[in-house]
A and B are shown apart, each in its own frame.
Chain A
Amino acid sequence: MLQCIFLISDSGEVMLEKQLTGHRVDRSICAWFWDQYISQGDSFKALPVIASPTHYLFQIVRDGITFLACSQVEMPPLMAIEFLCRVADVLSEYLGGLNEDLIKDNFIIVYELLDEMIDNGFPLTTEPSILKEMIAPPNLVSKMLSVVTGNASNVSDTLPSGAGSCVPWRPTDPKYSSNEVYVDLVEEMDAIVNRDGELVKCEIYGEVQMNSQLTGFPDLTLSFANPSILEDMRFHPCVRYRPWESHQVLSFVPPDGEFKLMSYRVKKLKNTPVYVKPQITSDSGTCRISVLVGIRSDPGKTIESITLSFQLPHCVSSADLSSNHGTVTILSNKTCTWTIGRIPKDKTPCLSGTLALEPGLERLHVFPTFKLGFKIMGIALSGLRIEKLDLQTIPPRLYKGFRAQTRAGEFDVRL
């Protein structure tokens, strides 16, 4: 079981320490951890499970903050990692982001949350909606109140009503004047285009996100028009497995508020909405590079905020890049970002320029990988369609809303 959780800032400072069991974990473990990180560099940060001389460490890094958990005995490593991810999710939801200052400003909230989320090294309540009921998220009013009244605690005195019922994720009797339920399909496109310009892999990772504000104890049924295209899926605990197994229908009692109902994957797509055509020629110490970006197949909606970023190879000493549309920035760590935005009707955006190689090098032999970003509102590229959302008992003034959006996930174009 987990013994201790540390939050470490990106400068190695231990911001927060939460001991979970009677056996104290010394802070020196963080010092060890940071020394290792300094000596081994980034690849150490990417190692989620580390066997230190005294403890096993589990770490995840979110927005520069390292969540470090220690254990001395055998335990499922994924459990620790998954839990840390949940903590990070919950914290960023409560604090509206994650950074050093936010955590330092809201120490009390963070400790209260950790208290509720884990007990004696074993995860307790991780459902955000229940947590919100127990611990009020920080806002201006509560801050004012605490300053004025001096009452610092924002832990509610009553037990969450859902804790005792058979659906622990839902408070027993929420009341809303207007009943609303929104379903969002949020999809991410993962694709790999290889050096020959061939589409090696193209798949969609999607999530069904819901925001339900329904009175009472609703029982929802969501069905898709074409569930057969779904390859893999994972469900929120509220989804009943049987109806899905038998006729691919999602039947569930939703938690209150926002939550992720399911995630899915659609594989073997044939087409991407955007194409990237990079070209590079190198000769006697200089490289000419030109990248064309255009719409391959029009999805019917505008493609927004297209960006293209890549890492210049180490052997490039200087770069001179310009584009006929959008802006190009090169950071000091040789990351180059080309922000295109929308693709204009009259011309094809083109990035071109020269790269000067380090002296002595004739030709470029390592090539960067371009990462493409885009966003399309109002369409799910996987083609997944929601057929209908049924409620068993229809409350008065029910509003159902559906949305869809697709953005680029891990879209790699290799040169």
Chain B
Amino acid sequence: MAGIRLHVIAPLALAAVSKCARDPAVYVRRCAANALPKLHDLRLEEHASAIEELVGILLNDHSPGVVGAAAAAFTSICPNNFKLIGKNYKKLCQILPDVEEWGQILLIGTLLRYVVARHGLVRESLMLSIHGTNSNGFCEKDGLGRDLTLDKEDGGKSDSFDVNLVSLVSKCYIQGPDEYLSRSSCTDTVSSAFDTKETTSIAHNEDVKILLQCTSPLLWSNNSAVVLAAAGVQWIMAPLEDVKKIVKPLLFLLRSSSASKYVVLCNILVFAKAVPSLFAPHFENFFICSSDAYQVKAYKLEMLSLIATTSSIASILREFEDYIKDPDRRFAADTVAAIGLCAKRLMTIPTTCLDGLLALVRQESFAGDFESADGEAGVLVQAVMSIQTMIERDPLRHEKVLIQLFRSLDSIKVAAARATIIWMVGVYCSLGHIIPRMLTTITKYLAWSFKSEASETKLQILNTIAKVLISAEAGDFHMLKRIVVYVFELGEYDLSYDIRDRTRFLKKLLSCKLASHEPAEDSVASQENIAAHVVEHVFGRKLKSVSPITLHNRFYLPGSLSQIVLHAAPGYEPLPKPCSFVYEEQDQLSDLDKQREAAADLDGSEESSETGDENGSSDYDSESSNGSDFSSEGDERTVSNDANDPAAPLIQISETSVSADQEELRSRRALDLWLDDQPSTSNQTPSALNSNQSSYAKISIGDVGSRVKPKSYSLVDPGNGSGLKVDYAFLSEVSNVSPLHVCVEVLFENSSAEPILEVNLEDEESMKVADSSEQTLVGKANASYNNIPTLIPMEEISCLEPHQSTKRLIQVRFHHHLLPMRLTLHYNEKKVPVKLRPDLGYLVKPFSMSIEEFLATESRLPGMFEYSRRCTFDDHVKDSRTENGKDKFLSICESITLKVLSNSNLHLVSVDLPVANSLEDATGLRLRFSSKILSSEIPLLITITVEGKCTEVLNLTVKINCEETVFGLNLLNRIANFMVEPSSSAT
């Protein structure tokens, strides 16, 4: 049913789902969990909180199947509502291995997020290991007894992985893409961004430990996605020495389908970039099979060149040699590039590499003569490039190689490769002894071949000869100069304008050199001097070493889609900020409550023997005790932290979250009770919970009507209405026009300095009709359209003086109980469209009935027509402070009634109080209201049951019995919302 995407039936579906969420059958509960995202997808704001509550209930389920589906619902509905996780954390961890595989994937991610948000990163983990060395001082001060061996290990290991990269990775995990963009300019400077406060230690934190324990067997899962998710958790949270665990399972994933192979490799690559030593012993796994797809091959090559060590390089190189002969030439070219990378990483191997590459260049240059395939050219270019990177490190030693390369210029035909070699001529022209002597020959050759070159090569020739000329020694200078002039002349008349430009530019630049006859001659003119300087700077500067990691240094969470496509996919969320979520201790729960809870559990377990539901209650029992342990532990931790840094208190208790916590706890309890009660008393309502307390006292409340103040809403605020402020409030009077109309009092106030003329409110639709048909009689037009006008217009206000306010009464008929009505506000001959929002509470009218009638009606509306919600109430707390003399119960009743009646149009039927209650305990207090829906005259009953102590925040259960389910549910939500709202009239 949830699949029917209609807004109208959403409340019905929600009611059905919430019933099903408490169903005794596992399958039904699971389906309920599956339906939740669909409901959420309809984006009905007013149900959001109800849906989240249901997610919480389902997450607390003891059946793994349900939890899996609930986890899916959680991630799609409220991925950041960690409160729901916090309550069940331990249980979720324990149940994790039994959850069905698809649920596991999401649940793992959720738990990881929760732990990070709750406790921050783990100090011993890889992510923060760098700080182990940075912050030794901190560790000692910390005094938490961290073992020093760990620090030593950190020190020893830090050279085995790229410290900067690791910190970058971990930073990226936490920062969102927006943040990253804003900070990208200064990422290098922001070092050790993590506050030590935001970390936690595995030795001291049960939560982290249990998560790691529960995810590690999942590394053996049959589902590769589960394995990767589990590996991600270990990678982020596990201490350094345990991260090794993930290596083998990850590598084993490479044996699965080719598609997942690609994804896994992508992720392994990131891991390996940060810590090559992890994968170094397993290099054999990355040897390439002929059946691998090209992308997989490329990734494997990258892996191999990353993890090569001095011990493994020999066999890796031998493999590379094989790959070069592969028929796939693109792959062969990549291999050559990989060799270059290896050589760059490991100092010892270049000589062997170079020999191989040179041989390759020679061989390729022969083959290149006959091959026109692009692949061949690619291989050759890559080979030359690789050689170039190797030479770059230590040019002096490789003079011979250079010479060989220069010699092979003749046979190499590929333009890009030629260009690279020619570039090297320019750069290394003054190197060693032999090269300078070769220069004239080379330049002669270049000048000779200039005509037939590709434009890319021509540009390079121009650059090179310019460089050569500058560094030329006296003996060759004249010769060189002549060559240069010749080449420039050729270049000036080239077909390509790029080359012509370059030639002219160089010619101007070098004009001083060309004009002079001696290389070392000092020109007197200062202008020429400047030119010479420029030339020196352009051509004469030394090569800068390029920083090794320049490419994409964005990292996303392991296993995420964004990591594969290398941009943040919509919906991608980095890990939450460490310690952003503070779990509140439920210390405000009174002892009494706890006792009663225990009693309830006892009841539950007694009854469960027949339903075979033993797990539920026992689990719950242990869980609750765990919960309290764990929160107290959390408290200790903060205390110790506080001691270190008293200036920054970590926990700030806010009232709202506490009450919400309690509310959740309550609903959970209700679920347990309901589940256990179910078989015997299927029709019993949750309010039957106090049935053992037999006698009730009736309380009569004096006239509260006088104190009822209707709430006013703003229609136009002075900013929009150029000084005109319009408020409206719903009145409880019954309209005299028709039973369908609601009376609305509109208050106009002029807050500007000038008078406002001709203020009026009109219905937008009728306006349209009037405009289009040129009819003057608005009422008539409307009457033909519908029998009853939607708006009984008000008297026009002809003039509103500054700071004057006037009240007018309008009567409105809403078409739908949720949709706002569009009206047009006229003033000063302007039109402003406004929206009049219906208040559900005033779409009903009081319907007086006796308590007997009430109960009779209630019993006729069971099942689908009955729905309840919980909320909290705290008005009376403020009240009791002001008026101490009054009876507490009376004041509670009064404040609740007041609140209800100020927000809706109801009739108070009765107020009951169980006699057996102690003075402080307000539990069992029950208020009944009755009303009829305006539009359909259907009776609607509201029962509010109170739980809790008089002086504290109360928990209310609001129950509505009504045939009109949709309306009833919406009203229920409305009531629950306004009960929680702080009241403005509580003075």
* Interface positions of A (Cβ within 8 A of B): 1, 21-22, 43, 46-49, 51, 56, 58-60, 71-79, 81-85, 119-120, 122-124, 126, 159, 163-166, 168, 190, 192, 194-196, 200-201, 205, 231-237, 241, 244-245, 260, 263, 265, 311, 313-315, 360-362, 365-369, 371, 410, 412, 414
Bound complex: CA A159 to CA B26 (Å): 12
**B217 contacts A245, CB within 8 Å?**
yes
Residue in B98, B291, B560 whose beta carbon sits within 8 Å of that of A410 in the complex: B291
> 7 closest pairs, A vs B, by CB?
A46-B293, A73-B571, A48-B259, A78-B225, A232-B252, A241-B217, A74-B571
Contacting residues, chain A, for B561 (C-beta < 8 A): 49, 56, 71, 74-77
**B27 contacts A159, CB within 8 Å?**
yes
Residue in A51, A78, A83 whose beta carbon sits within 8 Å of that of B565 in the complex: A51
Residue in B37, B326, B565 whose beta carbon sits within 8 Å of that of A369 in the complex: B326
**A120 contacts B37, CB within 8 Å?**
yes
Is B564 in contact with chain A by the CB < 8 A criterion? yes
Contacting residues, chain A, for B100 (C-beta < 8 A): 168, 237
**A81 contacts B295, CB within 8 Å?**
no
**A82 contacts B224, CB within 8 Å?**
yes
Residue in A168, A241, A362 whose beta carbon sits within 8 Å of that of B97 in the complex: A241
Can you name 10 A-B residue pairings with CB atoms under 8 Å?
A: A48-B259, A48-B262, A71-B561, A78-B228, A231-B248, A234-B249, A234-B252, A265-B252, A368-B327, A371-B290
Contacting residues, chain A, for B229 (C-beta < 8 A): 76
**A412 contacts B290, CB within 8 Å?**
yes
Is B363 in contact with chain A by the CB < 8 A criterion? yes
Is B257 in contact with chain A by the CB < 8 A criterion? yes
Interface mask (B524-564 → A, CB under 8 Å = 1, otherwise 0): 00000000000000000000000000000000000111101
**B263 contacts A77, CB within 8 Å?**
yes
Q: Which of A58, A84, A166, A361 has the most chain B CB within a 10 Å cutoff?
A: A166
**A195 contacts B105, CB within 8 Å?**
no
Is B260 in contact with chain A by the CB < 8 A criterion? yes
Residue in B38, B223, B225, B570 whose beta carbon sits within 8 Å of that of A120 in the complex: B38
**B570 contacts A74, CB within 8 Å?**
yes
Q: Which of B26, B34, B102, B228 has the most chain A CB within a 10 Å cutoff?
A: B102
**A74 contacts B572, CB within 8 Å?**
yes
**B319 contacts A194, CB within 8 Å?**
yes
Bound complex: CA A163 to CA B25 (Å): 10
Bound complex: CA A73 to CA B223 (Å): 22
Bound complex: CA A164 to CA B30 (Å): 9
Interface residues of B, dominant DSSP: helix
Contacting residues, chain A, for B573 (C-beta < 8 A): 74
**B257 contacts A81, CB within 8 Å?**
yes
Given contacts A81-B260, A237-B221, 11 further A-B contacts (CB under 8 A): A49-B561, A77-B263, A78-B260, A122-B72, A124-B34, A166-B63, A235-B222, A314-B373, A362-B366, A410-B289, A414-B322
**B263 contacts A205, CB within 8 Å?**
no
Bound complex: CA A119 to CA B97 (Å): 22
**B570 contacts A360, CB within 8 Å?**
no
What is the CB-to-nearest-CB distance from A131 to chain B, in angstroms, rounded to a whole number?
A: 14
* Interface positions of B (Cβ within 8 A of A): 3, 5, 25-27, 30, 34, 37-38, 41, 63-65, 69, 72, 76, 97-98, 100-102, 105, 109, 217, 220-225, 227-229, 248-249, 251-252, 255, 257-260, 262-264, 284, 287, 289-291, 293-296, 315, 318-319, 321-322, 325-327, 329, 332, 363, 366-367, 370-371, 373, 559-562, 564-565, 567-573
What is the CB-to-nearest-CB distance from A338 to chain B, in angstroms, rounded to a whole number?
A: 16
What is the CB-to-nearest-CB distance from A297 to chain B, in angstroms, rounded to a whole number?
A: 21
Contacting residues, chain B, for A79 (C-beta < 8 A): 102, 105, 225
**A260 contacts B222, CB within 8 Å?**
yes
Contacting residues, chain A, for B98 (C-beta < 8 A): 166
**A314 contacts B38, CB within 8 Å?**
no
Residue in A84, A122, A365 whose beta carbon sits within 8 Å of that of B367 in the complex: A365
**B72 contacts A82, CB within 8 Å?**
no
Residue in B27, B249, B329, B366 whose beta carbon sits within 8 Å of that of A164 in the complex: B27
**A21 contacts B287, CB within 8 Å?**
no
Q: Name which residue of chain B comes closest to A83, CB basis.
A: B102
Residue in A46, A241, A368 whose beta carbon sits within 8 Å of that of B295 in the complex: A46
Q: Name which residue of chain A comes closest to B264, CB basis.
A: A78
Bound complex: CA A77 to CA B291 (Å): 22
Contacting residues, chain B, for A123 (C-beta < 8 A): 102
Bound complex: CA A371 to CA B291 (Å): 9
Contacting residues, chain B, for A120 (C-beta < 8 A): 3, 34, 37-38
Bound complex: CA A311 to CA B37 (Å): 51
**B34 contacts A194, CB within 8 Å?**
no
